[in-house]
A and B are shown apart, each in its own frame.
Chain A
Amino acid sequence: YTHPVKSIHNKVISQLLASEPAPLRASPDPVTPDSDLKTLMTLCDLLNRELLVMISWAKHIPGFSSLSLVDQMALLQSGWMEALLLCVVWRSLASTQGLEFAENLHLNEPQCKNAGLLELYTPLRLLIDKYQQLNISHEEAVALRAMALANSDAEHVENGDSVLRFQDGLHEALQDYEVNERAAETHRVGKLLMTLPLLRQSSHRAVQCFRRLHIQHLVPMHKLFLEMLDTKI
Chain B
Amino acid sequence: TERHKILHRLLQDSSPADG
Contacts and interface: CB of A to CB of B under 8 A. Distances in A.
Chain A partners chain B: yes
- Chain A binding surface, main DSSP class: helix
Contact of A227 (B6, B12, B18, B19): B6
A56 B13 CA distance: 9
B8 A69 contact: yes
The size class of the interface chain B forms with chain A is 10 to 19
Contacts, number: 45
- Chain B binding surface, main DSSP class: helix
Interface in A31-54: 52-53
A203 interface: no
A227 B17 contact: no
A231 B7 CA distance: 11
A131 B11 CA distance: 31
Contacts of A224: 6-7, 10
A227 B16 contact: no
Interface of A: 52-53, 55-56, 59, 69-70, 72-73, 76-77, 223-224, 227-228, 230-231
Given A53-B17, A59-B17, 13 more contacts: A52-B17, A55-B10, A55-B17, A56-B10, A56-B16, A56-B17, A59-B16, A69-B8, A69-B12, A73-B8, A224-B10, A227-B3, A230-B3
